[in-house]
Structure 1
């Protein structure tokens, strides 16, 4: 059985994947390298970036000091977010997420008016356990008042969300926006990753009320 989050800040439970202010690290400059971009302090003698992660992505740097400082509810801590995605852990408590014959449980922003949604939806929010659904629906800035529950039978961890850069005439590349890039996208080596992204398939939609987690349950969870 999953457990509620053990850390709180100003009376509010803090999700497992949320960052804390004292986990921030000084950010080195992003420079152009022979194979895309690199952090200024990690360019090898051959001009290539050092310390790349999976599939050639540079990852935003974080310290591991969970609970230290102020809780940053709207900022994901990249190492914990990646761990939750890879192990399919609950984003709130860090325990096992819920799964049944219809698949793994996720909360998504509600786009049921979009044709074909939510099949092949791409999300950076890890799954959830049943215990933590009301907390996530109530407290997550991205889900508050517009959350819908889904179950996905198939989950592909195939994307990286982060800041994409473009080359310039000088040593410093130009940030062009924040996007999800996939394995076949050459821009992976021009991206500073912030979160893993999952593509959900064979998806079934539920109302939170169907799970017994309507407005009253969400209100009680945040009390």
Structure 2
């Protein structure tokens, strides 16, 4: 199957590569030394740029666009279409019909065309689901230690209401998926 590129008007934003920017540790959390309004999400989270991928992910995740073509994700009576890696604890890497309720997704949804055409790029497989609810609940990125805490920065997911959020540099938005329904067999890999 040949998949055509999206029209120029719907392509994901392109941003020049940005080298790591110096961070300030303030009493209220992290900040860039040369911070601008666009360096924070609407929720006030400090946004990191690790290349074009991070900005494209956030753009698609906020607007619920296909992660591949930036067109609107497929919707049905069961919800929006998501392509999710199988959990690593799946016995014999079989597909799971009982996907865990409330799974956190760091990848945007997909359109039907790209769900069917997707290569098996996750080791262990993946499955296509419809999610009736996909609430934007947090971010994935680098959590830095607060002043006085002896720890190394770690990569993790934090919910927007987490009190450690001022010490996070986010690279991706996270949605919590609920009321999941496996997609029809022709949309599974």
Alpha-carbon distance in 2 for matches of 1:23, 1:76: 7
Q: Which digits, 9 at most, give the CA deviation of each residue in 1:198-218, with x for residues without a partner?
A: 1000111247xx02554xxxx
The answer to which structure, 1 or 2, has the higher relative contact order (CA under 8 A, 6+ apart) is 2
Count of residue pairs the alignment pairs up: 178
Alpha-carbon distance in 1 for matches of 2:31, 2:187: 48
Classify the secondary structure of the residue corresponding to 2:160: coil
Q: Which digits, 9 at most, give the CA deviation of each residue in 1:162-186, with x for residues without a partner?
A: 100002459xx96421111112201
Of 134, 137, 140, 1:161 maps to 140
Alignment of 1:1-223 (within 5 A): 4-5=4-5, 23-42=16-35, 51-61=39-49, 77-111=53-87, 113=90, 117-136=99-118, 138=119, 141=121, 143=122, 146-168=125-147, 175-206=152-183, 210-211=185-186, 214=189
Give the unaligned 5+ runs of structure 1.
8-15, 44-48, 63-74, 215-223
Contact kept? 1:4, 1:132, Cα under 8 Å: no
Contact kept? 2:5, 2:69, Cα under 8 Å: yes
| Runs of 4+ displaced beyond 4 Å | none
Give the unaligned 5+ runs of structure 2.
none
Alpha-carbon distance in 1 for matches of 2:124, 2:43: 36
Classify the secondary structure of the residue corresponding to 1:25: coil
* TM norm structure 2: 0.78
Alpha-carbon distance in 2 for matches of 1:177, 1:152: 29
* TM norm structure 1: 0.67
Contact kept? 2:66, 2:108, Cα under 8 Å: yes
Alpha-carbon distance in 1 for matches of 2:86, 2:18: 34
Contact kept? 2:128, 2:188, Cα under 8 Å: no
Classify the secondary structure of the residue corresponding to 2:164: helix
Alpha-carbon distance in 2 for matches of 1:76, 1:5: 17
Alpha-carbon distance in 2 for matches of 1:164, 1:6: 35
